[in-house]
């Protein structure tokens, strides 16, 4: 079995009789980042972002919302959530007020400053 690109150079496929596409995400180059600290940082997501890869070098709290969202170091329903240092791909939550993905997120350190990045992926 081998892994190669398809003829349109868009998907990776397993070289088997069924030739099933491997689901992968692609970086778009549309990314934003901040240095986290004890005060919440507001991040405007790239226009039209529905799926993001988030990367953090330290544990952080994140919250999604509009241009007024503020992350806090308190976990709560529909509020901030703890994101452990690492990389994860997540869908941007939907704003129940307009049924569209949120446009902003906020991030605050859990206990140590670090680098936080959000990148739109396809």
For residue 11, being part of any structural domain is answered with no
For residue 17, being part of any structural domain is answered with no
List the helix and strand counts (H, then E) for the chain: 0, 13
Whether 61 contacts 83, CB under 8 Å: yes
Dump pLDDT digits (tens) for 11-36: 555 555 666 666 777 889 999 999 99
For residue 15, being part of any structural domain is answered with no
Of the pLDDT bands very low, low, confident and very high (cuts 50, 70, 90), residue 109 is very high
For residue 57, being part of any structural domain is answered with yes
In the DSSP assignment, the letter for residue 48 is: T
Segments forming the whole domain that contains residue 56: 26-121
For residue 20, being part of any structural domain is answered with no
Q: The domain that contains 103 carries what CATH number?
A: 2.60.120.10
Interval 78-100 mean pLDDT: 92
Distance CA 32, CA 50 (A): 15
Dump pLDDT digits (tens) for 36-48: 999 999 999 999 9
Mean pLDDT of the chain: 87
- Output the pLDDT for position 90: 94
What is the count of structural domains for the chain? 1
- Output the pLDDT for position 14: 58
């Amino acid at each position: 079995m081998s892994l190669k690109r398809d003829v349109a150079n868009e998907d990776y496929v397993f070289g088997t009789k069924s030739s099933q596409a491997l689901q992968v995400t692609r970086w778009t180059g549309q990314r934003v980042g901040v240095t986290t600290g004890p005060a919440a940082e507001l991040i405007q997501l790239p226009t039209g972002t529905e799926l993001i890869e988030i990367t953090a070098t330290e544990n952080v709290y994140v919250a999604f919302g509009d241009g007024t969202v503020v992350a806090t170091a308190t976990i709560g329903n529909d509020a901030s959530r703890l994101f452990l240092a690492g990389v994860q791909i997540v869908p941007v939550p939907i704003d129940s007020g307009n049924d569209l993905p949120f446009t902003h997120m906020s991030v605050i350190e859990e206990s140590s400053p670090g680098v936080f990045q959000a990148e739109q992926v396809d």
